[in-house]
Structure 1
Amino acid sequence: MPQLNPSPWFAILVFSWLVFLTVLPPKVMAHTFPNDPSPQSTEKPKTESWTWPWH
């Protein structure tokens, strides 16, 4: 039963993780968002209280 011998499977596991760690992070870090959010002003908008007609 080959699954009881960890030697080849451990090498495959390590090699696959090395491939993932060398290929995927540059692709993920190069991702840019199509619409960058613009910074909002720090001023608070002026709010007025409502005059409710039924009071």
Structure 2
Amino acid sequence: MPQLNPAPWLAVLIFSWLVLLVVIPPKVLAYTFPNNPEPKATKFSKKLTWAWPWP
């Protein structure tokens, strides 16, 4: 059975882990967000109570 021969599958496994651990993390870490989140105003407005349509 060819699946029991580890030579080609071991190379594929090592190459795929090499790609996952060496190539992808710098690309993910270099990502910059187009819109930087800014904190909202610190002044809190008074919360209005909900006026239910039925009494």
TM-score by length of 1: 0.66
Q: 1:3 to 1:50 in 2, by over 3 A?
A: closer
RMSD over equivalenced CA pairs, Å: 2.7
5+ unaligned residues in a row in structure 2: which ranges?
none
Kindly indicate whether structure 1 or structure 2 has the higher relative contact order, using CA contacts under 8 Å at least 6 residues apart. 1
5+ unaligned residues in a row in structure 1: which ranges?
none
Aligned length: 54
Counterpart residue number, 1:4: 4
Structure 1 runs (4+) deviating above 2 angstroms are 46-51
Residue identity over aligned pairs, in percent, reads 60
TM-score by length of 2: 0.66
